[in-house]
Amino acid sequence: MSLTDSHHLACVNVDGISPCATCGARALSVCGSLAEDGLRRLAALADDVAFNPGEALVREGDTAHHLFNITAGSVRVYKLLPDGRRQIVGFLYAGDFLGLATGDHYAFTAEALEPVKVCKFRKVEYRRLLHDLPDLESALLERASHELAAAQEQMLLLGRKTAQERFASFLLDTARRCARADGEADRVHLTMTRAEIADYLGLTTETVSRVTSRLKTTGVIRLLSLSDIAILRPAVLQDMAQGNPGQARSGGSTAG
C-alpha cells in the first residue's frame, strides 16, 4: 500500500550519494557481501539500464562483454536448437546475477519478462574489481555453487520426473522465490506465460494446462487469476514434487 520510492531503487550514479545505498535488491544479491568502500567502487563501474518486456539483455552467440545484476523485474534465460525447440534454463528475479555461465560468448539468450532494471558491468572491469575485492569473489563463488546445485536439481526434474511432479516442483520453487520478495508463502505470482513454463519444464503448453486443471480439480491449488495461484495444500504439493507415491487415489486398496 505505502507508496515507497521503490522506483528509485536502481543504482543511479547521483554524485555524493552511494547509488547502491537505496537499492532494494542489494540484500538479495552479491553486492550484499560488500562493505562501504567496496560498494562504492562497484557502484562506480555500474551502468544502470532498463529493459522493456521482450527486450533482450544478451543474445546467444554474442561476444560476452557484460555482466548483469537484476535489480527489478524478471527475466527468461534460454537456449535454442536450430529447428526452434527452446529450453528455458532459468528465470531470474531481483538480486540474481546474469553472466556466470559465460565464456567468450554467451551460450544463452536472456530476455525481460516484465519491465526490468539491471546494474550492468563491463566484464573486464568487473574482473579487475574481483581481483581487488576477495569478498565479492567469494560471494560470486557461493552464488555459482548454489546455481550449480539448482541446475542439478533441474536435471533430476527434466530427466526423471513426470509432468505433474515437474509442475509441482516449479510451483513450490517459484513460491519460495516470491516469498523471499513479498512474504506470501502460499501465494505464487507468475510473470511468465504457460508456453514459457512448458519450455522450462520440458513439456508443452497443453500438458501444463492439463496438469494445472487437475491440481485445481483435486483442490491442491486455486487459480486467483491466470498469473496468480493460491497453494491450498502445500504438503500434498510437496509430496508430488519429490515424487512420493501420493495417497493412491485417496482411499485405494492398501495391499493385496
Partner DNA sequence: AAAAGGCGTTGATCTGTGTCAATCGCGGCC
Partner DNA sequence: GGCCGCGATTGACACAGATCAACGCCTTTT
CB of 209 to DNA, least distance (A): 3
Q: Does 206 bind DNA (CB under 7 A)?
A: yes
224 binds, among DNA, a copy of itself, none (CB under 5 to 8 A by kind): none
Q: Does 151 bind a copy of itself (CB under 8 A)?
A: yes
Q: Which of 22, 87, 207, 238 binds a copy of itself (CB under 8 A)?
A: 87
6 binds, among a copy of itself, DNA, none (CB under 5 to 8 A by kind): none
Of the candidates 109, 108, 111, 88, the one whose C-alpha atom is nearest the C-alpha of residue 200 is 88
Q: Does 128 bind a copy of itself (CB under 8 A)?
A: no
SS3 at position 99: coil
244 binds, among a copy of itself, DNA, none (CB under 5 to 8 A by kind): a copy of itself
Of the candidates 209, 208, 202, 241, the one whose C-alpha atom is nearest the C-alpha of residue 88 is 202
Compute the residue count for the chain: 256
Q: Which of 5, 37, 83, 182 binds a copy of itself (CB under 8 A)?
A: 83
- CA-to-CA dists, residue 126 to 33, 50, 78, 99, angstroms: 15, 20, 24, 11
Task: Extract the C-alpha cell encoding 199.
Answer: 519450455
CB of 105 to a copy of itself, least distance (A): 10
Identity of the residue, 183 or 252, whose beta carbon is nearer to DNA in the bound complex: 252
Bridge partners (DSSP) of residue 222 are 230
Q: Does 79 bind a copy of itself (CB under 8 A)?
A: yes
Please name the residues in contact with 10: beta carbons below 8 A apart, sequence gap of 6 or more: 23, 48, 50, 71, 72, 117, 119
- Measured between alpha carbons, how far is 126 from 41 in angstroms, rounded to an integer? 10
Q: Could you list the residues that contact DNA (CB under 7 A)?
A: 162-164, 193-195, 202-210, 212-213, 223, 225-226
